[in-house]
Structure 1
Amino acid sequence: MAYFVAAFLIRQFTASWVVWELSGQIRNGDLNTLLMRPMSPMIYHAIQNLAALPIRCALALPIGVVVLVLAGGWRGRARGRWRCWGCRWRWRGC
């Protein structure tokens, strides 16, 4: 279960839809308006992706934590060490 939650979180933090948007803009003719602006369309898409990242993090992190807690994958602090996702690895507390 922890693997799927980690994959979900990584996908949310690294997702990019530039190619999808760019191909749609080329087909619809919307790229012309972006090309007429003084900044590059790639900068425009990069800014859009960076602006969406905090929102995706704010939504994905609580969902991931709730799923881990409900599935029993997060055990919290046990005997002065952190246990995460039910694995056998142990980290010393700070």
Structure 2
Amino acid sequence: MAFKHLDIKTLSTWLEEGRSVSLVDIRDPLSFANGHIAGSCHLDNTSVAEFVDNTSAEQPVVVVCYHGNSSQQAAAWLDGQGFEHVYSLDGGFTAWQAVHPDNG
């Protein structure tokens, strides 16, 4: 099974409903520090092994990058690690911030 694309509206609904989802942001540390989707964690080469080891394979994972391009590669990789529900956020953080300027 491969990763799926997720649009901003669907993610917004999931978060409003309080769905259990792991939000992982793969942008550079400074960009993440300057703003990210509430509840997301920064994922990079130094933290990915711990994330994989400590996150249930059944837990939905949404990968966020700048514009929704790099997140597709990361989502495909996470899918290959055995995660069952992996999503790449279409438009990335840039699109999220355009829709949700005060949650980012």
Class of the TM-score when normalised by the shorter of the 2 chains: under 0.3
Could you tell me the TM-score, scaled by structure 1's length? Answer: 0.25
Point out the structure with the larger strand share: 2
Q: Which has the larger radius of gyration?
A: 1
Higher relative contact order (CA 8 A, sep 6+): 2
Point out the structure with the larger helix share: 1
Could you tell me the TM-score, scaled by structure 2's length? Answer: 0.23
